[in-house]
């Protein structure tokens, strides 16, 4: 039994073939069916292009509901961000108190979500990873504390409390928490401008702890208020350049300890450092240089040769810094090299982290400056930690919650500032070791922290004869991982403006200071955004053959123009006071050029008399842009052309309607470009087709 669609003739019905063996009959029937479908589609297309259908679809554009205003958007955003989650939890708490309480605890303490699946096998792997991590963490922490111009024990303190806090609140299962080189450099380059660590080390330490507290407050606030987008102000390109520049500056700073030089500049720029080395080269201690360079070669060879050639020896690369500390300490003790000018660590205060609540400076004249430094350090530390955490989360196939990470980092640094720790964050080198050692969860951080705590309690006396040169070697060995030349090449290949921001960050850090490098990188990134907003490009559109699609004629050379019409699209999401007159001028100049070209090259009927502005890209406009559109309409009319608008977005059409602009263009506003061409070019007032 054949089913006939409404409006379908008997001849166009498709009758099933009962005898499939009759191939010719079957093929003929299929062909007739295809032809009938083409006829139906053609009729449907013509129906849509009739004036009645066009007017109806124009009404769709004009008769839209009023979009939400600014206050409504702010209220909705605030409700979604803060009130809804809390309100949902409170409602659930009243109905199902036990399950709601568990849900709230899972949000605050993410490890509760995976602890149900935790077993002995995973615990064994976490213990191994934690011990391996501690072997790298102990010497690095001492080295980074000296880089931050603090006593060595403060680096060890920072590897105890913050990892424990993060293990309870963080959502990453792989990241290794502790002091890092870049943050240590930031502190040592910015805080000494307020307090000299040499003449007044106690005041300097108190200021560093205060900066740590403010950094934690900012990080926690970012997490609570869901302000993670602030971290994106430091673009990927800027971070690549900044990290490379910081690595070079750190390396130059470590030459003092590696060469055993006594007098050294406090400046971080390359010119000052090289000048200081040249002046003090006579005080070079050959014993320190031999010890430091020998163990540097040992660490680098295990890390970049043995560990890569023999994958199972990754643990040797991880333990190489600790082995270097042990062997160099024994060497100095047995040979009494400290009597020959080799500088040693000497006394390291052991024991549990002492309270530092009384050392926070909130009434100091430098409090405001400490808060500013805390904000910068907070952003840099978060950027590095989230980038590291997301990289390894992607490898293992789980999701990292950025807001929870910020909150966890903030709480751990606030707590750290109260327990003699300076700013801690995620370390890429230690996280890579943690990952390679087979860590399963954040328990590896707990194992590492306990191991460091045991070392603080019982082993600090054994580090008395540790040469300072070996700490410089350990820091230098970690720097190549901060310089990503292949990524810089990739940025150059993809986006030259991004590379400019990358190069500015690198050169600014290297030749001026850390702050200037960051400022240049952020400034160039913002300049790129502002430049694209103020002077956006325009595209001349043409119809793609065999379709109703319109594309950029430079991108699609096969696209064809429509006689008598110029179709333009603005390459910007916002038409505002900053770019409205620029865009008006670009469109007018393009229209006049096209009109002159049409008059010279062809008959009069091909001259441009209709300019269609495709508004599909524009998300919003303001009063300045509406005034610019009115001026554009007047300029076009004075030159024998008319303006039509196609596919305006919700807020755009609402504001144009309020400004009574639609009457000024005599209602030439359409849902698609094709409808604008069809309606306007067949109008009696326009050029006939």
645: left (phi over 0), alpha (psi -120 to 50) or beta: beta
Closest CA relative to residue 139, chosen from 435, 459, 458, 444: 459
Q: Is 606's pLDDT higher than 80?
A: no
The pLDDT value given to residue 633: 93
Query: Residue 605 is encoded by which pair of tokens?
Result: 């009927």
Average pLDDT of span 418-425? 96
| 345 close to 463: Cβ distance less than 8 angstroms | yes
The pLDDT value given to residue 118: 86
End-to-end CA distance of the chain: 47
Q: Is 82's pLDDT higher than 50?
A: yes
> What is the rounded distance in angstroms from the CA atom of residue 204 to the CA atom of residue 231?
28
pLDDT digits (tens, 9 = 90+) for 634-656: 999 999 899 999 999 888 988 99
Helix H, strand E, coil C: the string for 108-162 is HCCHHHHHHHCCHHHHHHHHHHHHHHHHHHHHHHHHHHHHCCCCHHHHHHCCCHH
Query: Residue 176 is encoded by which pair of tokens?
Result: 């290794």
Query: Residue 412 is encoded by which pair of tokens?
Result: 């751990």
β-strand 620-621 against 574-575: which pairing, if any? parallel
Average pLDDT of span 601-620? 80
> What is the rounded distance in angstroms from the CA atom of residue 578 to the CA atom of residue 560?
32
The pLDDT value given to residue 611: 93
For 466, residues 6+ apart whose C-beta sits below 8 A from its C-beta are: 142, 325, 328, 329, 332, 344, 345
Q: How many CB atoms lie within 10 A of CB 29?
A: 15
Coil, helix or strand for 315? helix
> What is the rounded distance in angstroms from the CA atom of residue 128 to the CA atom of residue 109?
24
pLDDT digits (tens, 9 = 90+) for 569-600: 999 888 988 899 999 999 999 999 888 776 55
Residues above pLDDT 70, as percent of the chain: 83
Average pLDDT of span 269-288? 88
Q: Is 284's pLDDT higher than 70?
A: yes
| Residue whose pair of structure tokens reads 């080295």 in the numeric block | 143
Coil, helix or strand for 32? helix
For 392, residues 6+ apart whose C-beta sits below 8 A from its C-beta are: 172, 174, 175, 431, 435
The radius of gyration computed from the CA coordinates of the chain, to the nearest angstrom, equals: 34
Q: Is 91's pLDDT higher than 80?
A: no
Average pLDDT of span 459-482? 91
Mind listing the domains of the chain with CATH numbers? Answer: 118-479+486-526 (no CATH), 535-685 (3.30.750.24)
Q: Is 296's pLDDT higher than 80?
A: yes
Which pTM was predicted? 0.75
Concatenate the DSSP letters of all residues of 335-388 into one string: HTGGGGT--B------SSPPP-GGG--SSSTTHHHHHHHHHHHHHHHHHHHHHH
Beta bridge partners of 646: 614, 670
> What is the rounded distance in angstroms from the CA atom of residue 671 to the CA atom of residue 657?
15
Q: Is 53's pLDDT higher than 80?
A: no
């Amino acid at each position: 039994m054949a089913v006939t669609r409404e409006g379908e003739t008997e001849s166009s019905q498709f009758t099933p073939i009962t005898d499939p063996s009759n191939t010719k009959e079957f093929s003929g029937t299929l062909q007739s069916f295809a032809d009938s479908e083409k006829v139906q589609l053609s009729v449907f297309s013509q129906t849509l292009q009739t004036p009645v259908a066009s007017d109806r679809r124009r009404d769709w554009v004009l008769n839209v509901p009023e979009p939400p205003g600014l206050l409504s958007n702010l209220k909705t955003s605030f409700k979604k961000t803060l009130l809804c989650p809390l309100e949902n939890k409170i409602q659930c708490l009243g109905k199902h108190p036990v399950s709601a309480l568990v849900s709230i605890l899972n949000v605050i303490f993410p490890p509760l979500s995976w602890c149900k699946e935790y077993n002995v096998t995973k615990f064994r792997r976490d213990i191994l990873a934690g011990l391996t991590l501690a072997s790298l963490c102990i010497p690095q922490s001492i080295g980074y504390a000296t880089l931050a111009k603090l006593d060595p024990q403060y680096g060890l303190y920072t590897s105890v409390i913050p990892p424990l806090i993060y293990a309870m609140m963080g959502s990453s299962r792989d990241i290794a928490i502790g002091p890092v080189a870049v943050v240590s450099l930031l502190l040592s380059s910015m805080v000494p401008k307020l307090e000299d660590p040499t003449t007044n080390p106690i005041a300097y330490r108190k200021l560093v702890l205060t900066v740590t507290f403010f950094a934690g407050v900012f990080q926690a606030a970012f997490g609570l208020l869901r302000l993670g987008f602030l971290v994106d102000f430091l673009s990927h390109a800027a971070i690549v350049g900044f990290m490379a520049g910081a690595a070079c500056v750190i390396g130059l700073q470590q030459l003092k300890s590696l060469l055993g030089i006594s007098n050294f500049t406090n400046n971080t720029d390359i010119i000052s450092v090289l000048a200081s080395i040249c002046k003090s080269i006579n005080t070079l201690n050959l014993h320190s240089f031999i010890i430091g360079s020998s163990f540097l070669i040992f660490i680098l060879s295990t890390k970049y040769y043995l560990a890569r050639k023999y994958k199972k020896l990754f643990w040797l690369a991880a333990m190489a810094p600790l082995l270097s500390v042990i062997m160099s300490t024994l060497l100095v003790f047995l040979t009494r090299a400290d009597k020959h000018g080799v500088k040693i660590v000497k006394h390291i205060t052991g024991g549990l982290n002492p309270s530092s609540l009384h050392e926070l400076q909130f009434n100091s004249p430098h409090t405001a400056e400490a808060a500013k430094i805390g904000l910068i350090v907070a952003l840099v530390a978060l950027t590095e930690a989230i980038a590291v955490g997301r990289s390894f989360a992607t490898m293992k196939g789980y999701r990292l919650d950025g807001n929870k990470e910020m909150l966890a980092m903030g709480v751990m640094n606030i707590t750290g500032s109260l327990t003699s720790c300076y700013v801690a964050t995620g370390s890429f080198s230690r996280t890579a070791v943690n990952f390679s050692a087979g860590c399963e969860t954040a328990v590896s951080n707990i194992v590492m922290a306990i191991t460091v705590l045991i070392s603080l309690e019982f082993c600090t006396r054994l580090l008395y004869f540790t040469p300072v040169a070996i700490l410089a070697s350990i820091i230098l060995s970690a720097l190549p991982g901060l310089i990503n030349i292949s990524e810089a090449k990739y940025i150059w290949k993809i986006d030259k403006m991004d590379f400019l921001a990358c190069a500015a960050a690198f050169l600014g850090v290297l030749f001026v200071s850390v702050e200037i490098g960051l400022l240049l990188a952020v400034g160039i990134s913002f300049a790129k955004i502002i430049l694209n907003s103020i002077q956006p490009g325009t595209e001349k559109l043409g119809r793609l053959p065999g379709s109703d699609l319109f594309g950029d004629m430079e991108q699609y050379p096969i696209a064809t123009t429509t006689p008598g019409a110029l179709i333009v699209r603005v390459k910007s999401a916002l038409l505002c006071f900053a770019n409205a007159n620029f865009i008006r001028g670009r469109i007018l100049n393009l229209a006049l050029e096209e009109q002159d070209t049409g008059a010279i090259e062809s008959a009069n009927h091909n001259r441009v008399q209709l300019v269609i502005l495709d508004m599909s890209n524009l998300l919003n406009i303001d009063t300045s842009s509406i005034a610019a559109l009115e001026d554009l309409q007047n300029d076009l009319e004075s030159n024998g052309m008319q303006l039509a608008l196609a596919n305006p977005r919700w807020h755009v059409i609402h504001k144009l309607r309020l400004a009574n602009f639609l009457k000024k263009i005599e209602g030439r506003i359409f849902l698609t470009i094709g409808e604008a061409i069809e309606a306007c070019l067949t109008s009696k007032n326009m050029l006939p087709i």
